[in-house]
Amino acid sequence: MEPQADYAHVKQTLAFISQNWREQPSLEVIAAQSGLSPFYLQKLFTRWAGLSPKQFLQAVTLDHARSLLRGDANLLDASHELGLSGPSRLHDLFVTHEGMTPGVYKARGAGLTITYGYHPSPFGTALIMRTQGRLAGLAFADDGGESQALADMTRRWPQADYVEDQAATAALARRVFSRQEWSKDQPLKIIFIGTDFEIRVWETLLSIPLGSASTYSQVADQLGMPKASRAVGSAVGRNPLAFVVPCHRVLAKSGALHGYHWGLTRKRAMLGWEAGAVHSSL
């Protein structure tokens, strides 16, 4: 089955689980809603996430996220409760980053040539953007939503020149979504195009380990700006490098997943996929 078809079934399953987690549905019930046999769904989902549907349900339900953050607990300290005791490296994708000069941002991208292409990923179609040899943008689109995803990204830097070139961005797509290519010896090179404050927030997100999470207020504390949670939330929402800069690992203080620019179902999918990555490394 093609990755895009895989994700369509997984997305439907994730939506069902997130809406019915209180009933702790059986594999048979979960499979029935997608029109797949329990055996086939188990095989497909486990191949996709590294976890079975039931293990995913246990690891990332909102109820469990809330319980970990209740009181003084936070997911950074309590990740062992999820069985996510993998190494707390800076970021398992191993990225090296630099910020574009403030002048380029203020000029809204004038003088930049940005190459882009659409590629299959574990989370649906990925829009990959590249400039100066570095990954500059990563967004997601549901079927038929590719043009909207492109418009959303080009609005950020409206004066740049955009050139579609699938071949030029294919290697970056493989580098991001193939765990076999995550290597500290050959880090993924990314470039930030944003305000100084936004770049500081995005850099802080890179410190959230795979399999863990933080809150907006904790990110603000790390920046030495404890009253800036709302501004942090806005910067997180403007993150142009989905998944690579893990804004999906930021939760509300209550533990709720809260909003996500590319959809809450996709946010749950990313957390589950990463839980599988950590689980398989133990």
Q: Is 247 a catalytic residue?
A: yes
Residue 242 backbone class (left: φ over 0; alpha: ψ -120 to 50; beta: rest) = beta
Q: Is the pLDDT of residue 118 over 60?
A: yes
Query: What's the token pair of residue 275?
Result: 């839980």
Per-residue pLDDT averaged across 175-191, rounded?
84
Confidence check: pLDDT of 3 > 70: no
CA distances from 269 to 8, 45, 275 (A): 11, 11, 10
Selection from 213, 86, 99, 100 nearest residue 159 by Cα: 100
Averaged confidence pLDDT in the chain:
79
- How many alpha carbons lie under 13 Å from residue 116 in its C-beta half-sphere? 24
Judged against a pLDDT cut of 80, whether residue 57 lies above it is answered with: no
- Closest residue by Cα to residue 117 from 139, 102, 98: 139
- Domain ranges in the chain are 3-60, 95-255
pLDDT at 4 over 70: no
**68 band by pLDDT with thresholds 50, 70 and 90:** very low
Domain 95-255: give its CATH code: 1.10.10.10
pTM of the model: 0.71
The 10s digit of each residue's pLDDT in 120-135 is 988 889 999 999 999 9
> Which residue matches tokens 């019915």?
20
pLDDT(231) > 90:
yes
Alpha carbon 166 to its chain's center: 22
The larger pLDDT score, comparing residue 141 to residue 50, is at 141
Under 8 Å between Cβ of 3 and 177: no
Q: Which residues contact 238 (CB under 8 A, 6 or more apart)?
A: 156, 194, 198
Catalytic member of 112, 242, 247, 250: 247
